Amino acid sequence: MSNVAYTSKVRIVRKRGPVRIATLPGESQPVTFSVHGAIAEHYKVDPAAIGESHAATIDYVIAATAG
């Protein structure tokens, strides 16, 4: 087994409902995660209750995989 090359240190704080703020390495500003569109509908989240929509964590996973 090889040595660990990198350990990501991430901090996530839940603000309300699905809204989370993440502090990520390499980013100078925190990143906001939430739900939107069909994802909000699937989880029965009222968009008015969360205010401004943001990308969901799955959006970041797909973007990272596609990149």
Q: Strands (DSSP E) along 1-66, which ranges?
A: 11-16, 19-23, 31-33
Q: What is the pLDDT of residue 28?
A: 96
The answer to the question of residue 47 being in a domain is: yes
Cβ-proximal residues to 31 (8 Å cutoff; 6+ apart), any chain: 21, 22, 23, 24
Dump pLDDT digits (tens) for 3-58. Answer: 999 999 999 999 988 999 999 999 999 999 999 988 999 999 988 888 888 999 99
The answer to the question of residue 34 being in a domain is: yes
The answer to the question of residue 23 being in a domain is: yes
Q: What is the pLDDT of residue 65?
A: 94
Q: What is the pLDDT of residue 10?
A: 95
Report the amino acid identity of residue 32. T
The answer to the question of residue 4 being in a domain is: no
The answer to the question of residue 32 being in a domain is: yes
- Per the structure, the complete domain to which residue 54 belongs is given by 11-66
- Number of independent structural domains in the chain: 1
Q: What is the pLDDT of residue 34?
A: 93
Are 49 and 26 in contact by the 8 Å Cβ rule? The answer is no
